[in-house]
Amino acid sequence: MINKLLKGNAKFVAGEFKPNEKYYRTIAARQSPKVLWIGCSDSRVSEDVITGSRPGTMFVHRNVANIVAFNDVNISSILEYGIVHLKIDDIVVCGHTRCGGIAAIEDGVHENYIADWLCIASGAKVITDEIAQKHKLSREQKLEVLAAENVKLQIKHLQSLALIKNMHEKGSLPRIHGWLYRVETGVIDVLVNGRTGKMTKGLKALES
């Protein structure tokens, strides 16, 4: 597999980098990403690939279940650098279907660090349990709703961080978008419109 990656790099250099050398020379001099991406570490949710983006487009933070933690210096420093220094106006929080982290929130998990981490998303399960009961959702539907509710909860966490809160109090930036990527179809559903703040159900499970 490792050799395959290096061969892939040679292919990238020949087929993408060299033909677009001017673009890559520009971003080599200075990065100027337009979007700050907060996504899941899942191997199937590669932000560049699923959005058809070139290197240089997104400043990226990924962790298990795309969580925004209050005491995480990692995400805080990424937000500070991305927003204050790189002047990024748009943040995308992107969850996905068939997420192992989301299934672990639903089922419970006993591994120490994973359990502690997923605790930060437990509020999404409380909301989802109510929705699932009301709409008599199947397990699969419930996991989909939980993935979406987790995106909405992590956006609330983002909006509560002093850095973002202070900026929002002064104006409307940064815009925060909530997305759900469907690993079964490759399609992204918009859950939270970053321009209007409007939340959509965006879920087949709740449309009927």
Q: Which spans of this chain sit near Zn ion (rule: CB under 5 A)?
A: 40, 42, 99, 101
Decide: 175 and 196 in contact? Cβ < 8 Å: no
- Cβ 95 vs Cβ 177: under 8 Å: no
Q: CA–CA separation, 92 vs 174, rounded Å?
A: 10
Of 174 and 202, which CB lies nearer to Zn ion in the complex structure? 202
N-terminal to C-terminal alpha carbon distance within the chain: 44
Query: Between residues 58 and 121, which has the closer beta carbon with respect to Zn ion?
Result: 121
Considering beta carbons, is residue 106 or 174 the nearer one to Zn ion?
Answer: 106
101/202 with CB nearer Zn ion? 101
Q: Which residues contact 169 (CB under 8 A, 6 or more apart)?
A: none
Shortest separation between residue 178's beta carbon and Zn ion, angstroms = 15
Question: What is the nearest approach in angstroms of Zn ion to the Cβ of residue 151?
Answer: 11
For the stretch 123-126, contacts whose Cβ atoms lie closer than 8 Å and that sit 24 or more positions apart, written own/partner, are 123/153, 124/149, 124/150, 124/152, 124/153, 125/149
CB of 97 to Zn ion, least distance (A): 9
Q: How near is the Cβ of 96 to Zn ion at its closest, in Å?
A: 6
Query: Which residues lie closer than 8 Å to 27 by C-beta, 6 or more apart?
Result: 55, 56
Minimum CB distance to Zn ion smaller for 56 or for 100: 100
Minimal distance, residue 101 CB to Zn ion, in Å: 5
Task: List the beta bridge partners of residue 96.
Answer: 181
